[in-house]
A and B are shown apart, each in its own frame.
Chain A
Amino acid sequence: MFADYSWTELGSIFAMQGFAGLILFSVFVLMALGLAIIFGQMGVINMAHGEFMILGAYVTYLCSNIVETYIPSLFGIYFFFAMALAFVAAGALGALVEWSLIRHLYKRPLDTLLATWGLSLILQQAYRSIFGAREVGVSLPNWLLGSVPLTDIIEIPINGIFVMVLTLVIAIGVYFILFRSRMGMQTRAVVQNRVMAGAVGINTEKVDRHTFALGCGIAGIAGSAFTMIGSTGPTAGQLYIVDTFLIVVFGGAASLLGTIASSFAISQAQSTMEFFLSGSMAKVLTLLTVVGILMLRPEGLFSLKIRR
């Protein structure tokens, strides 16, 4: 399949596809980080994670419209507070869901999976009723449009760079919250030994709620970032949920580093193969490889050494 291209062309193709893969990587990381926190740290399967992401996307869409209509002078920077709002909205909904649904099901992970799937159906229909079935897009401020020419063949879109920088910032932020803050310390304590954490005075229920809300909030930010590179529809979240779960499992559920590494591997593989094969075959091959590796090595790429 490489025979038809010259070396320079191949180089450019790999560079361009590699960059497209990096954007996909950013979206995957943002989505998977939230999921890895919820699944890896709490053991809860949140099938509605995609819908939390779409909530963030719709919040951004609303912000974009409101700012454009009423305060156009701020349009250049609306994205930053849209993102904050998306975080707050998704996080608040996450806390509500944890309180009303998830906390009753901690001992039944398979049932959580079904319940959150039901939740995702309800949210999808709610989006459809409120925003319509058609996909919506946001208008980007001028400084995010256009692209940077690197060589005469390779061009890099600015919004892609922005999403990547954002991903980096969020990933570092998550690292600090989980490993350098009091909240993160409590979360990890609860994960490692719930009873003992409760005994030393950690309010485990509160920690659960905050952790779940944090994961959902990050999904909201992911949705916000997602609007910059694609349009949003009521069912867009479902398209990503399987990939994201595979990423988290492939990376090793409790490892944030593993999540990032597996997002990178999967997005690059998919994006590079997409150029040479059809999009669907690229996806099939990528997912098959991942499932195959998981069958041989069920604990994922990076795993805690534990006896089972």
Chain B
Amino acid sequence: MTHVKSLLSRQELIGLLVVAALIFVVMPLSMDIFRLNLFGKYLTYAFVAIGLVLCWGKGGILSLGQGVFFGLGGYCMAMYLKLEASTPEATAIQSTPGIPDFMDWNQITSLPWFWEPFNSLTFTLLAILVIPTLFAFVIGAAMFKRRVGGVYFAIITQAIAAILTILIIGQQGYTGGVNGITDLRTLKGWDIRTDEAKYVLYYVNGGLLIAVLLLSQFVLKSKLGRLLVAVRDKEDRVRFSGYDVSNIKIFVFCFAAVLSAIGGAMFTLQVGFMSPSFVGIVPSIEMVIFCAVGGRLSIFGAVYGTLLVNWAKTTFSEIFPELWLFGLGGLFIAVVLVFPNGLSGLYRSYLAPLVDRLISRGGSSYPPEPASPPPDLDGEANAKPAE
């Protein structure tokens, strides 16, 4: 029990239980499988948003390329599933049976070498975790070791997202082009398109999300998490205290990348395809807004923010397709100007005192949460000096 207490305060434990109840009880009971599957799709974005809370909210590193890692995870999964769906029997009508259909359409006659290892599920699962980590490590090491940060990092990551999208769309024969990898059927012979499979995948996804929340909480509560916040607020002071700032940054960037990749892989499994429209600049920056709306400092807030923005997107773009972009644009501006701490900031200043009073009645009283930090969150030393 002491372990739990040191990992989660009572407030955070309640937050976790509410999220778990929402995912495992409320939603499955109140929705049909179609809506639940949609909800599960939103939850896969929450992985990215949690990663961004650590990376951007706590660490002050804004990555506009999280779609890259989401895409890498998703594409690894999709490549495995596609190979399994492209047995020689199933693709007998092609001029080269046994290779994915889009390769056949693009006059490719044998499986490219980098597709070969994806015949193995073990390799695929490892690749989902390892490839994004390596990629993030290379980017992070190159940038942070040279003390590049802030807006430069944001622009470079955005450029990488753009490059990967152009590459995927351009190399149609190897990647499925703009349509992506579609028509995925089975996982080790288990049909992922049935309602039953969708339920199972939804629960697996939910379980992973809770595990990721706990893991992130563990990181944040550790010494590393405190150093991370210190790096955000006074990078030089941490450096002068003898810590290697760049290693801390590289770690959190890689961690966020792995979370995004897990989200991407679960996305592919639940939605049944992967395409470059989840990789590029626009989806990457939208993932930032999920995190910002939820509150960039709260991993639980990120989950709610993701759900809220996606729900709003689905609802409004169905009813008023014209107005949605105005709404999203306004949301970007509002979240920056009016409530920089997002939903969790609003919760902390209005609802939390009430909840606190309720739960501490009778039990031991907890010291009040520290006041939410001022909106100056970027911690950018190279920003304009104060006037």
Contact = CB atoms under 8 A, between A and B. Distances in A.
A278 B191 CA distance: 39
B216 to A, nearest CB: 21
Nearest to B376: A107
Given A280-B167, A287-B159, 20 more contacts: A45-B151, A104-B337, A107-B386, A108-B375, A108-B377, A110-B151, A110-B378, A114-B288, A114-B292, A118-B333, A120-B329, A122-B326, A125-B326, A128-B325, A198-B387, A249-B156, A284-B163, A284-B170, A295-B146, A295-B156
A163 B99 CA distance: 49
Contacts of B156: 249, 291, 294-295
Contacts of A122: 325-326, 329-330
A47 to B, nearest CB: 8
A294 to B, nearest CB: 6
B167 A284 contact: yes
Interface in A136-151: none
A115 interface: yes
Contacts of B380: 107-110
Given A105-B336, A242-B162, A121 B325 contact: yes
B376 A113 contact: no
B357 interface: no
A153 interface: no
Contacts of B316: none
A13 B378 CA distance: 48
Contact of A108 (B162, B322, B383): B383
Contact of A125 (B56, B143, B163, B322): B322
A306 B329 CA distance: 37
A288 B159 CA distance: 9
A273 B333 CA distance: 39
B344 interface: no
Contact of A114 (B150, B289, B383): B289
A195 B385 contact: yes
B159 A113 contact: no
Given A109-B150, A121-B325, A115 B333 contact: yes
B264 to A, nearest CB: 21
Contacts of B158: 242, 245
Interface in A76-104: 101, 104
Contact of A115 (B160, B281, B337, B378): B337
A28 to B, nearest CB: 15
A213 to B, nearest CB: 18
29 contacts: A43-B383, A45-B154, A106-B383, A108-B336, A109-B380, A110-B56, A110-B151, A110-B154, A111-B336, A111-B377, A114-B332, A118-B332, A120-B329, A122-B325, A122-B330, A125-B322, A194-B385, A198-B387, A245-B159, A246-B159, A278-B170, A280-B169, A280-B170, A287-B166, A290-B159, A294-B156, A295-B139, A295-B146, A298-B143
B340 A111 contact: yes
A117 interface: yes
B331 interface: yes
Contact of B376 (A108, A125, A195, A280): A108
A298 B285 contact: no
B227 interface: no
B62 A117 contact: no
A161 B152 CA distance: 34
B220 interface: no
B308 interface: no
A118 B378 contact: no
Contacts of A6: none
Contacts of A117: 285, 332
Nearest to B167: A284
B286 to A, nearest CB: 9
A119 B334 CA distance: 11
Contacts of A280: 166-167, 169-170
A119 B385 contact: no
B155 interface: yes
* Interface size band for B: 35 or more
A283 interface: yes
B13 interface: no
Nearest to B169: A280
Interface string B356-387: 00000000000000000001111010111111
A73 interface: no
A271 interface: no
Nearest to B163: A287
Contacts of B331: 118
A121 B332 contact: yes
B159 A242 contact: yes
A205 to B, nearest CB: 9
B155 A121 contact: no
B336 A281 contact: no
Nearest to B323: A125
A283 B332 contact: no
B147 interface: yes
A113 B170 contact: no
A101 to B, nearest CB: 7
B378 A108 contact: yes
Most chain B CB atoms below 10 A, which of A43, A113, A124: A113
B167 A194 contact: no
A194 B325 contact: no
A190 B121 CA distance: 59
Given A198-B387, A284-B170, A308 B329 contact: no
A281 B170 CA distance: 7
A195 B387 contact: yes
Contacts of B143: 295, 298
B26 interface: no
B163 A245 contact: no
B142 interface: yes
A118 B336 CA distance: 10
Interface string A250-292: 0000000000000000000000000000111101100110110
Given A281-B170, A295-B143, A107 B288 contact: no
Contacts of A115: 332-333, 336-337
Closest 7 CB pairs of A and B: A118-B332, A280-B170, A121-B329, A122-B329, A125-B325, A295-B142, A118-B329
Contacts of A101: 333, 337
B340 A113 contact: no
B335 interface: yes
